[in-house]
Amino acid sequence: MPTQPEAHRLIDRLIALVRATKGADAIVIVRGAREGNTRFAVNEISSSGEVERLSIALTVQLGQRSATAVTNQQDDRSIDELVGRTLRMARLAPENAEQMPPLGHQTYLAVKNATDPATARLTPDVRAKAVGAALAAGEAAKVAMAGFVNHGNHNLAIGTSEGLWAYHSWTSCGMSCTARTTDGTGSGWAGAGSNRMADLDAAALAKVAAAKAVESARPRKLDPGRYTVVLEPAAVGSLLAFFHNALDARRADEGRSFFAGKKLGDKLFPETITMRTDPTDATLGAIPFDIEGFPLAPTRWIDKGVLTALPYSRYWAKKQGKQPTGGVGGGGGRGGGGGGGGGGGGSGWTLDGGPATRDELIKGVQRGVLITRFFYLRALDPQSILATGLTRDGVFWIENGQISHPVNNFRFNESPVQMLARCDGLGAAVIPSGAEGGAIRVPVLRTHEFNLASTSEAI
């Protein structure tokens, strides 16, 4: 994992080698990470590891032709080979009319406390202590406990032959616990994420997972149908990832997404729904620039139910006479543990919460279902953002405002658009480690007519 000065020297070196070829421009992206993880299963640690990652991506532009090559080695021979290979490929590449030139100097927002020193220095014994607390909670509840603790220290540097220099470093961490009852009929889950290991309470997470496992044992049969549901944050975050990925001005203008035909100012959702990105949100591992080095700004994409912005790439903004927003096609490199949420709009995604607690949302349900989380989600229809997936680790029948009993798992077919449009209650927003799509801050949510399309035999 290179330091900031080391990354700067490496990028300058690559740019100088490329500029030795007349008419060639260079874009260099260096990603580094030092990561650790501990996995536990059946009430004991099963694996523990540390890894250091380095990725050096070089893009060479020759007019409207370009090519990219990647290496994880920085010795002289590897760097020379990287430059030579990329130049050869660029000469052979077809011209791309949509290719934009490298960015020059930019100014970025500051992200305070992005790196937590204690998390950056985290050692295996700290992870083992967290696992020990989780296993003790599982033993007390007489359930089998499994889970994963991970953390990382990351950096991202981008430089171009036009004078751009962007650098950001941050830490990330997460923990998830899954508990199973001894008879194999009950399963529970809990997870959380942050950029500070001190924010994670291993014992508390394990107690939630264990309680859900015990409460979900011996589920009763419930037929498929459309139900009022209370979705816990991990479920909400997983489904919202499809919404974020659909946010893109070009796809909307070309009629290829749900947002086709929609105009800024159109009201899509209740006033309680506000979705925003904040590239200075350190807890989410947000990054203040995108993968081109374009500066990102705090943006409300949905404000009190109203569509207020769509992400524009540099090319599409120029073509349409708009201002680029950056962030199209991903954040600032979430492969390093940050970026949050993927999709359009950059990093630091939040769906603002509300004043209700989970129990208060349940209290407002006459007949419905409480769902802990989803997994194995897949897109079905981009025009409606329809997705499918399975429920997991705790599904419960609600009757007369109280949890009545556990029920079987389901396959759902539903769109985050409809989930939000029918929403009538929100809790506090949290970061649920394990939500598909990366780090995101989302609340527990109540919505109606949610399509639980078929039953699943999985536990």
More confident position, 459 or 156: 156
Domain locations in the chain?
4-215, 219-455
- Written as six digits, the tokens of 459 are 């536990």
How sure is the predictor about 459, in pLDDT bands with cuts at 50, 70 and 90? Answer: confident
Residue 85 to residues 26, 69, 288: CA-CA distances in angstroms? Answer: 13, 7, 31
DSSP 84-144: HHHHHHHHHSPP-TTPPPPPB-------TT-S-HHHHT--HHHHHHHHHHHHHHHHHHTEE
Q: Are the beta carbons of 7 and 30 closer than 8 angstroms?
A: yes
The span from the CA of 245 to the CA of 259, in Å, is 12
How high is the pLDDT of residue 432? Answer: 92
- Written as six digits, the tokens of 79 are 């760097």
Our CA angle for 434, 436, 440, nearest 5°, is 80
How sure is the predictor about 342, in pLDDT bands with cuts at 50, 70 and 90? Answer: very low
Q: Is the pLDDT of residue 123 over 60?
A: yes
Q: Which helix (H) or strand (E) holds 57?
A: strand 44-62
What integer is the mean pLDDT of 399-409?
A: 98
More confident position, 323 or 327: 323
Our CA angle for 270, 271, 276, nearest 5°, is 105
Q: Is the pLDDT of residue 121 over 50?
A: yes
Average pLDDT along the chain: 94
Q: Is the pLDDT of residue 99 over 80?
A: yes
Pairing of strands 299-303, 275-277: antiparallel
Q: Is the pLDDT of residue 343 over 60?
A: no
How high is the pLDDT of residue 254? Answer: 95
More confident position, 345 or 172: 172
Q: Is the pLDDT of residue 132 over 90?
A: yes
Please tell me what DSSP assigns to residue 220.
Answer: B
Q: Tell the burial category of 77 from Cβ atoms under 10 Å away from its Cβ (0-12, 13-18, 19+).
A: exposed
The span from the CA of 359 to the CA of 378, in Å, is 30
Which of these, 10, 336, 347, 28, lies nearest to 164 by C-alpha position? 28
**Fold of the CATH domain 4-215:** PmbA/TldD fold (3.30.2290)
What integer is the mean pLDDT of 97-105?
A: 97
Q: What is the pLDDT of residues 216-260, one digit of tens each?
A: 999 999 999 999 999 999 999 999 999 999 999 999 999 999 999
- Written as six digits, the tokens of 451 are 């399509």
What integer is the mean pLDDT of 438-442?
A: 87
Q: Is the pLDDT of residue 346 over 90?
A: no
